[in-house]
Amino acid sequence: MERIVVLDFGGQYNQLIARRVRELGVYSELLPRTASLESICAEGLSGIILTGGPDSVYAPNAKTCPDSIFQLGVPVLGICYGMQYIAHRFGGKIEARAREYADTPIQMGNHPLTAGMDAGYVWMNHNDSVVELPEGFSPIAETEHCIAAFANDAQRLYGIQFHAEVAHTPKGTLIFKNFLEKICGCRCGYRPENLADRLIDAIRAQVGESGRVLGALSGGVDSTVAAALVHKAIGSRLSCVFVDHGLLRHNEAEEVVAFYKDSLGLNITGVNAKERFLARLSGVTEPEQKRKIIGTEFVRVFEEESRKLKTADEDWFLLQGTIYPDVIESGTGASDTIKSHHNVGGLPKDIEFCGLVEPLRMLFKDEVRALGEAIGIPHDLVWRQPFPGPGLAIRILGDITEDKLSILRHSDAILREEIRLAGLQEAVWQYFTVFTGMRSVGVMGDQRTYDYAIGVRAVTSTDAMTVEWAELPYPVLRKISSRIIAEVAHVNRVVYDITSKPPGTIEWE
């Protein structure tokens, strides 16, 4: 399988680079800039991309990567800081000159990397610029203030100062298409729906002929597709557990357990662990602490369930529906930790399993959905609303109480019903309500109120790494607001979150 390695220097758009490469039909991995040569040179290496980052290459502690990547014989493309790093490494000159930010006029030269890119505007975000190129490098694009792209065909080194990965650069995808096809010679045949056999073989190899797997099911598409793959790989040696941690949506536990048994034929046990989770979370307000408590408690429950099933000579693995955004947001070593997902950064170090089975760990959400439909999971479940493992705990700002959970469940049920009645279930990527904890003055029934504000969040996306807020029709918003205020006790205000990601995240915590 053709493979592009994206080395992470800590830029904010790095996950988009990996995403764009996959969209064009080549498998990509986002690795830390300090990754071992062995991991970089694994199967199918066709090219390397160096990302942007916040450093200046001439600073004493500027981020670097192994020099050996330039001797591998595969093309290397630097983006923003990555371009400056290549130039600096080979003897060019970088200086802080006129800053360029947002839409910037550009002139494109005649080179295979920029083929089809017209003179126009690109998205810039830099203070430093390459002002002198190393020997053997030629400029292939320029702005008023900087060399905007270069090429060294003899050494197969390339750079662009602008961000072709963002939607703000018209035809930016062409840069990646040209790099993959014209520079790296890729066939671009990667499709996530064709991965099933490969993933099933990998599961069998990991678990062995006698190993057993405890499947942690949440009811979401990720854990469902993961369980379906493991079931195809090892059959009855998969035992699934659905934990009701008291942080689920209205009627969620009953619906999920029934679906897994009736529609997918999985061996599943439902565990009521409400009291223990809520007791551990009592008084906790900090989001990262919530996630780590929930991640630890999940594992402890799964350990207890596996003990009930174990015999002395069996090796047990824990199945999780971890996907690539979970891994990236939990930190790559170069980029900041955005939030520790309960199944990644929230896991305890000491677990009573031989290992984790995570067949979807390197896939984006839309890739998981394509794979799910390819292996026969019903369409309605594949497109079921994403629901985070920590559940409503990260949709309540502040401490968690039964009263707050009741308010949030009721408001969320109203939102989901109105979205369904409006026929928008698949047009909107994700939608939910948030208990903001904020109280404000209102008037209801000619009387003063001082009650809570509920936030409504609805977003569109393809991969969960970048999102835009959904432009819900005003009549739908009006109905949602009116019903929540009229039907949910202690709520007198509804607000709509119109923040994109970045700078926000999908969930509030």
- Nearest Cα neighbor of 380 from 221, 251, 169 is 221
What pLDDT shows up at residue 255? 81
Structure confidence at residue 342 as a pLDDT band (50, 70, 90) = very low
User: In sequence order, which residues have a C-beta less than 8 Å from that of residue 168 and are 6 or more positions away?
Assistant: 102, 103, 123
Structure confidence at residue 175 as a pLDDT band (50, 70, 90) = very high
Instruction: Report whether pLDDT(3) > 90.
Output: yes
What pLDDT shows up at residue 127? 84
pLDDT tens-digit readout, 110-127 = 999 999 988 888 989 888
Alpha carbons 116 and 108: distance in angstroms, whole number: 9
Structure confidence at residue 405 as a pLDDT band (50, 70, 90) = very high
Looking at the chain, the number of H-run helices and the number of E-run strands are 14, 18
Q: What is the mean pLDDT of residues 144-166?
A: 94
Instruction: Report whether pLDDT(332) > 60.
Output: no
Q: Any idea which residue has 């979370």 for tokens?
A: 281
Structure confidence at residue 348 as a pLDDT band (50, 70, 90) = low
- Nearest Cα neighbor of 77 from 152, 11, 132 is 152
Q: Any idea which residue has 């039907």 for tokens?
A: 487
Instruction: Report whether pLDDT(345) > 50.
Output: no
Range with the poorest average pLDDT among 29-43, 104-118, 349-363: 349-363
Alpha carbons 163 and 161: distance in angstroms, whole number: 7
What pLDDT shows up at residue 312? 65
Residue 453 pairs with which residues in a beta bridge?
Answer: 493
Structure confidence at residue 251 as a pLDDT band (50, 70, 90) = confident
Instruction: Tell me whether strands 268-272 and 238-244 are parallel, antiparallel or unpaired.
Output: parallel
What pLDDT shows up at residue 220? 80
Q: Percent of the chain having pLDDT more than 90?
A: 60
- At 196, list the tokens: 């099933």
What pLDDT shows up at residue 349? 67
What pLDDT shows up at residue 476? 98
Structure confidence at residue 346 as a pLDDT band (50, 70, 90) = very low
pLDDT tens-digit readout, 362-404 = 898 889 999 999 999 888 788 877 777 788 999 999 999 999 9
What pLDDT shows up at residue 432? 96
- Nearest Cα neighbor of 496 from 459, 465, 461 is 459
What pLDDT shows up at residue 338? 47
Range with the poorest average pLDDT among 17-21, 310-314, 319-323: 310-314
Structure confidence at residue 341 as a pLDDT band (50, 70, 90) = very low
Three-class SS state of 443? strand
Instruction: Report whether pLDDT(507) > 80.
Output: yes
Range with the poorest average pLDDT among 6-15, 220-229, 353-362, 385-394: 385-394
What pLDDT shows up at residue 431? 95
Q: What is the mean pLDDT of residues 432-445?
A: 92
Instruction: Tell me whether strands 45-50 and 3-8 are parallel, antiparallel or unpaired.
Output: parallel
pLDDT tens-digit readout, 451-479 = 999 999 999 987 666 788 999 999 999 99
Range with the poorest average pLDDT among 38-47, 335-344, 461-470, 493-502: 335-344
pLDDT tens-digit readout, 58-78 = 988 999 999 999 999 999 999
Maximum alpha-carbon separation in the chain = 79
Q: Which amino acid is at 414?
A: I
What pLDDT shows up at residue 403? 95
Instruction: Report whether pLDDT(287) > 50.
Output: yes
Q: What is the mean pLDDT of residues 494-499?
A: 97
Instruction: Report whether pLDDT(339) > 50.
Output: no
The catalytic residue positions are 80, 163, 165
Alpha carbons 165 and 171: distance in angstroms, whole number: 10
What average pLDDT is seen over the chain? 89
Alpha carbons 27 and 83: distance in angstroms, whole number: 22
Domains and CATH numbers, the chain: 3-183 (3.40.50.880), 192-382 (3.40.50.620), 401-496 (3.30.300.10)
What pLDDT shows up at residue 330? 64
pLDDT tens-digit readout, 235-250 = 999 999 889 999 999 8
Structure confidence at residue 168 as a pLDDT band (50, 70, 90) = confident
What pLDDT shows up at residue 347? 55
